[in-house]
Amino acid sequence: MKDKKVLLWIYKNSKSQILRMAVLIFTSIVVAVNGVAIALFSRGLVDSAQEGSKDRLLVHGFILVALFLLQFVLSITCKYLQKEMQNRLENCYKSYMMREYSKKYYSHLRKYHKGDILSRYTADTLKVSEGVSSILPDFAKFITKLISAFAALFILNKIFTSVFIAGGIVVIFVARLLRNRAKKLHKNVQDKDASLRSFIYELLENTVVIKVFKAEDRMLDKTNQLQKRHYNAKREKNIFDVFAATGFSFIFAMVYLYALVWNSYGLVHNNISFGTLVAILQLVGHLQAPFAGLSGLLPKFYGVLASAERIIEVAELPEEQGLEDEDAYDVQQYSDMECIKVQGVTFAYGEEEVLKNIYLTINKGDFTLVCGASGAGKSTLLMLLLGVYSPDKGRIFLKTYSNEKIDISGHVRKYFAFVPQKNMIFSGTVRENISFFKSGATDEEIMEAAKISCADEFINWLPNKLDTVIGENSQGLSEGQIQRLAIARAVLSGAPIVLLDEATSALDEITEKKVLLNLKKLTHRTFVFVSHKKTLSSLYNNVINIKKGKAYQKRYDNGKRYRDKKRYNKGYGGTKEYSDKKGYNDRKECSGRKAYSDIKAYSDKKGYSDIEVYDIRGRYDGGEKHGNRRGTYEGI
C-alpha cells in the first residue's frame, strides 16, 4: 500500500483534531525557541559573573527564572494536549473501524480471526493515535530547535557550526536508509501479536472443554510457542532499535566532545568567553535532542503507517449494498409480500459446493422446517436468506402480489430477525438482553415476548426478575434458558420474518412444543426453523429437506398435504410432479394394504428411514423413481 494513500487516510480521519493539533504545534515551537533563549541568557549570566557586573547578573538571573517557569508551564500544556488528542483520536479510529467492520460482507470478515480483528481494534488504533498526536508536534519542535540552535551557533562560531551541519545531514540520510527495515519489523511484531491474541481468545472461550480433556499442558505448550514467536519478533525489533538508538547516541557524544574540544581550544586563545562556551555546549545539547528525536521519529512514523495499513485493510473489504438506505422499502412492503423465492441458487465455500441449483418457495405466514444431516447446508441456507452470504449463482428475492421482485440484501434485512445457533447473550440484565433490538420497550411488552418463548417461567423465579444481571458467557443461565431469551428478543424486535437456527435444541419436548405452538399463533409473521428434531414435524406446514446439496420441499395444511401433489426439486431448475391417489395425514401414511408410522417406512422385506420414499416393489430416492408407482409411501 502506498504511503501517500495511508497519509491521506490518516488526515481524513484526524480532521476533527486540527484545532487542537495547531495549538499543540504552536506550543511546541514556543518551547523550542524558549530553550534556545535559555542557552543565550545563560551565556549573559556567566559573562556577567566573569566581568563582576552585579546589575547585569541580576537582570539575566531574573530573566532565566522567568524563562524556566515558562518552559515548565508550556511543557505541562504540551503533554496534556498531546494525551487529550491521543485519547480522542484513538476513539475516533476505533469508531471508524467498527463502523467499517459492520458494513462488510460476513463472508469476507470470517477470513479474519476474531483475535486478529481485536488486535487491529486495540493495538493498531493505539499505535496510530500515539503517532499522529506526537509526530507532527515533535517534528515542529525538533525542526524549530535545529533552526534556532544552528542560527545561534552560527552567530557564536561560524566554522564550528558549518562542520556540525554537514555531519547532521549525513545522520539524517543514514536514518532514512533504515526506513523499510523499521517498518517491516514493526509489522512483523503486530502480526505475531495478533496470532497470540487470537489463540488466547480461543483458549479463554473454551476453558471448560480444555479442562474436561485435560489439555492444559498442551494449551500451555501452544501458548509458549506463540509467545516465543512474539518474543523473537519483538527481540529482533528491539535489537534494531537499540543499535540504531545507541549508534545515534554515540554520534552525538562525539559531537559534544567535538564541541567541547573545539571551543576549549578557542577559549585558550581568547577567541571566545566562558559564557560562549557554556552557551555552545547547551545549544549542542539542544541539537542532540532534535537529531535523536528526528531519527526516532522515522521508525515511529513507519510504525504508524504499518498499523494504519492494517486498519485500512479491513476498511477496504467489499461492502454490503443497501445498508445505508434505510427507507428504501417501508414496512407496508411486507404486507404486499407474497413469498420468498430461491431460484437456481448455488453456493460454495471455496471449492466445496454446499448448495447446488436449489429452488424453494416460502410463503408469507409459513411455519417452515429446514432439516437435513449435519453439514448439509441448513445454516448456510439461512445465511443466504438473510443476505449475509451472496449466492454464487441464482437469485433470492421477495415476491409481491404485484409481481415485484425485491432482491435480498441490506435493503430488506430490517424485515428479518435471527436466532443463531450460538445464542448472542450480552453481559447485562435480562431486560437489556430481551429489548436489545427494540429500545424503549415497556416491561409489559418484554414480558409478553418472554411469555411467547416460555422464558417467563424462569424469569419470575430469578432474584431480581428482569433486573437480574447475566454474567459473562451467560453465566447463571442454562442453555435452554438462554435459547428462550434469544427467541423472546427476536419476537420483541417486531421483525415479520424470523429465522431460527437450532433455537430449541436444548429444550425438552414439552417446552419446545409450547414455544412452537405460541410462535405458530403469530400468523402475521413468517418463521423458518433449522432443526435436527422431527418429533414435532406435524406443527410445520412447510418442510424443506437439504440432502447432498439439493433441496426437497413438501407443503402441508393442518396436518394434511397442502396440495395433492408432491414436488421434487431436481437440482436443475425444473421440477417434476407426481400425483397421489390418496391423502394421508402427517402422522401415518399408507402404502398398499399396510399403514406405517412416519418414523420408518417398510417395503416387503426391509425397513428404511423416513428420509427416503418407498413402495412395495421399489422406491423414490432423492427424486429418482424406482419400481412401481402404485401404493407409494412418503415419509415426512
Of 529 and 151, more confident: 529
Alpha carbon distance 232, 25 (integer Å): 37
Q: What is the pLDDT of residue 526?
A: 92
pLDDT tens, 330-365?
A: 545 678 888 999 999 999 887 788 899 999 999 999
> Average pLDDT, stretch 166-191?
74
- 373-393: pLDDT as tens digits: 888 888 889 888 888 888 889
- The residue behind cell 424406482 is 626
622 contacts 550 by C-beta, under 8 angstroms? yes
Write phi, then psi, for 159 (nearest 5 degrees). -65, -50
**481-498 per-position pLDDT tens digit:** 888 998 998 999 888 999
State yes or no: pLDDT of 319 exceeds 50.
Answer: yes
pLDDT of residue 197 exceeding 50: yes
Cell triple for 393: 449463482
- Give 513 or 154, the one with higher predicted confidence: 513
Give alpha helix (H) positions in 350-395.
378-386
Cell numbers found for residue 576: 417434476
Beta bridge partners of 369: 529, 543
At 451, list the grid cell: 411469555
pLDDT at residue 631 tops 50: no
Q: Is the pLDDT of residue 626 over 50?
A: no
Contact yes or no for 371/551 (Cβ under 8 A): no
Mean pLDDT of 592-600: 38
Q: Give the residue from 361, 339, 352, 415 showing the smallest Cα distance to 380.
A: 352
- Tell me, letter by letter, the H, E, C secondary structure of 426-461: CCEEHHHHHCCCCCCCCHHHHHHHHHHCCCHHHHCC
CB 632 within 8 Å of CB 615: yes
Mean pLDDT, the chain, rounded, equals 76
504 burial type by CB count under 10 A (0-12 exposed, 13-18 middle, 19+ buried): buried
Question: What gap in Å lies between CA 183 and CA 192, rounded to an integer?
Answer: 15
Name the H helices within 104-178: 106-109, 114-119, 125-156, 158-177
Which range, 41-55, 266-280, 526-540, is most confident?
Answer: 526-540
Where do the H-state alpha helices sit in 316-377? 332-336
Grid cell, residue 118, equals 481485536
For 190-226, the three-class secondary structure string (H helix, E strand, C coil) is: HHHHHHHHHHHHHHHHCHHHHHHCCCHHHHHHHHHHH
- 8 A C-beta contact, residue 337 and residue 398: yes
Q: What is the model's pLDDT at position 629?
A: 35
Higher-confidence residue: 39 or 180? Answer: 39
Q: State mean pLDDT over 217-237.
A: 86
User: What pLDDT score does 23 carry?
Assistant: 92
pLDDT of residue 324: 54
pTM score > 0.75 for this model?
no
Q: Quote the pLDDT of residue 595.
A: 38
For 549-589, write each residue's pLDDT tens digit.
888 888 886 545 444 333 334 333 333 333 333 333 443 33
Specify the residue for cell string 480532521.
Answer: 15
Neighbours of 345 (CB within 10 A): 23
Q: Which amino acid is at 508?
A: D
Residue 591 has pLDDT above 50, yes or no: no
Neighbours of 191 (CB within 10 A): 17
Under 8 Å between Cβ of 259 and 284: yes
For position 60, what pLDDT does the model report? 75
Of residues 285 and 528, more confidence is placed in 528
Q: What percent of the residues of the chain are helix, what percent strand, and what percent coil, each to the nearest 5?
A: 60, 15, 25
User: CA 174, CA 263: separation in Å to the nearest integer?
Assistant: 27
pLDDT of residue 474: 54
| CA distances for 483 relative to 424, 450, 453, 536, angstroms | 9, 11, 9, 18
Cα Rg, the chain, nearest whole Å: 37
Q: Between 504 and 579, whose confidence is greater?
A: 504
Percent pLDDT > 90 in the chain is 12
Rounded Cα gap, residues 278 and 21, in angstroms: 34
| Residues with Cβ within 8 Å of residue 296, at least 6 apart in sequence | 245
Position 299 pLDDT exceeds 90: no
Q: Could you report the per-residue pLDDT of 413-444, keeping only the tens digit for each?
A: 788 888 888 767 777 788 888 888 887 889 89
2-11: long-range pairs with CB below 8 Å, 24+: 3/305, 5/312, 6/305, 6/308, 6/309, 6/312, 7/305, 9/308, 9/312, 10/128, 10/132, 10/304, 10/308
Looking at residue 121, the DSSP 8-state letter turns out to be I
| C-alpha to C-alpha distance for 357 and 360, rounded to whole angstroms | 10
Rounded CA-CA distance 591/449 in Å is 43
Domains of the chain: 10-315 (1.20.1560.10), 334-543 (3.40.50.300), 580-636 (no CATH)
**What pLDDT is recorded for position 407?**
84
Coil, strand or helix at 93 = helix
Cell of 299: 521508525
